[in-house]
Structure 1
Amino acid sequence: MKRKAELKRQQIIKAAYQAVSDKGYESVTLQDIADYADVSKGVPNYYFQNKEDVLAHLLAQITDRIYEKEKLAVERETTSANMLLAYLNTVFVGPKENEKFYRVYLDFLAQATKNKRYREINERFYQNCSSISKVILEQGKKEGAFRTIDNEEAGRTIRAMIDGYMIQWMMTGDHMQHSAYRAACYRSVLSYIQN
């Protein structure tokens, strides 16, 4: 019974992701989420308190999954250069995936100024991202490849660079530029942390 309930919750969360991606945070209703999940209107209310609760679970889940993928990619590598490249390749996964995620994510960030729960989820995401950067920086320092730098500050700066390049790429509307922005981000991060 628990497994069936969890599958239904995941169906609703997945539908919410698609609905927000297509319609935008402000426009999405619980009815839309139910329609995307192909369930009756009352089903989301059975598993979640309200629209905000569904979307908070969505934000937590997508940011946790992204962090886990990025962390795993970095852990598979042994040199700082390869770790950084793996990190950025996992962030810049592909034009369609990145566009969909950032369209949803930016909607959440706009809401986070008014929503403490969303801010807390995003803060955890940024702390997780910072922990990935810390692992890469420590390895680079051991190798003598990276300069001595405050890991906390560097983690924030690296993520700001990543998000900045990603948003700039999205604003071009050109999927063909995706790899150029990934390469530019890599060069910028590297020039910031290299000896």
Structure 2
Amino acid sequence: MSDDASTAEEIMAGVYRALREHGYADLTMQDIADACSKSKSLLHYHYDTKEDLLVAFLDHLITTFERRAAAGADRPATERLAAFIAWFGFDPDETDREHFHIALLELRSQGPFNDRIRSRLQRSDRVFRGTVAEILEQGIEEGTFEPVDVQETAALLVATLDGARTRQITLDEMDVDGDTYTRTVARTVIDRVIDPMLAAGVELPDVETVEVLLPRDEPVSIAPADRMDGREA
């Protein structure tokens, strides 16, 4: 790995840790520098402003998701779909992950007022819906899914799962049995949407044990081809 790629990886991991610890509103370049053991001047060498760095971080998250989704393309469609659903769920004791998603929610709230952030959110939505649509098409070709409108079904799944995660982290929502809201919604989605489109004799893998699309901890490594600076291409 080149020095630039290694530095970029360390900075992105630092952004992740700093967002998790400080949230979005109070985050400073010094917080990020401290989290990645780099100097603030080095961060400003690569990224003019905090916004530049956070926009680069959003790009990194989306690209990481795309890579992991593509890497799992040889898995059966049922397994890939279960992994996608599982990625949205988390338990109450996963406090670091919850804090990170709260910070992301703060960042996403800037979408209506910031064109650069909004464009990344739009890209993220396209990637999520496109991933599900491609999985559904694969399952139909394999004969494990009955024919459905893949675009409509993908939009429904993404909106439902993302909405459940937002509700859990903002309202501390739990169901009547004490389970997390994301897991309850995941089960409902499987019962009401996924199971009816499975071909006879086909079952969806257990979302509690399937390997998720992304790791639960820090973002995975950046490939050397990733841009180091936060300036627009």
Shorter-chain TM range is 0.7 to 0.9
- Where relative contact order (Cα < 8 A, 6+ residues apart) is larger, the structure is 2
- SS of the aligned residue for 2:25 comes to coil
Unaligned runs of 5+ in 2: 198-233
2:10–2:36 contact (8 Å) kept in structure 1: yes
Residue aligning to 1:85: 82
- SS of the aligned residue for 1:112 comes to coil
Matched, 1:7 2:6: yes
Q: Using the TM superposition, give the Cα deviation of residue 20 of structure 1 relative to its aligned residue in structure 2, in angstroms.
A: 1.7
Structure 1 residues 11, 82: CA separation in 2 closer, same or farther (over 3 Å shift)? closer
Structure 1 residues 8, 144: CA separation in 2 closer, same or farther (over 3 Å shift)? closer
RMSD over equivalenced CA pairs, Å: 2.8
Residue aligning to 2:172: 172
Per the normalisation by structure 2, the TM-score is 0.68
- SS of the aligned residue for 2:24 comes to coil
2:88–2:182 contact (8 Å) kept in structure 1: no
Residue aligning to 2:218: none
Unaligned runs of 5+ in 1: none
Distance 1:63 1:97 in 2: 20
Structure 1 residues 71, 162: CA separation in 2 closer, same or farther (over 3 Å shift)? farther
Distance 1:189 1:154 in 2: 12
Percent sequence identity over matched residues? 21
Structure 1 residues 190, 61: CA separation in 2 closer, same or farther (over 3 Å shift)? farther
How many residues end up aligned between the 2 structures?
189
2:132–2:154 contact (8 Å) kept in structure 1: yes
- SS of the aligned residue for 2:65 comes to helix
Distance 1:66 1:48 in 2: 23
Q: Using the TM superposition, give the Cα deviation of residue 173 of structure 1 relative to its aligned residue in structure 2, in angstroms.
A: 7.2
- Equivalent residues in 2 for 1:1-195, closer than 5 Å: 3-73=2-72, 75-78=73-76, 80-92=77-89, 95-96=94-95, 98-142=97-141, 143=143, 145-149=145-149, 151-170=150-169, 171-172=171-172, 177-178=179-180, 181-182=182-183, 184-189=185-190, 191-192=192-193, 194-195=196-197
Moved over 4 A (4+): none
Distance 2:70 2:117 in 1: 22
One-letter amino acid matched to 2:148: T
- SS of the aligned residue for 2:113 comes to coil
Structure 1 residues 24, 98: CA separation in 2 closer, same or farther (over 3 Å shift)? closer
- SS of the aligned residue for 2:179 comes to helix
2:88–2:165 contact (8 Å) kept in structure 1: no
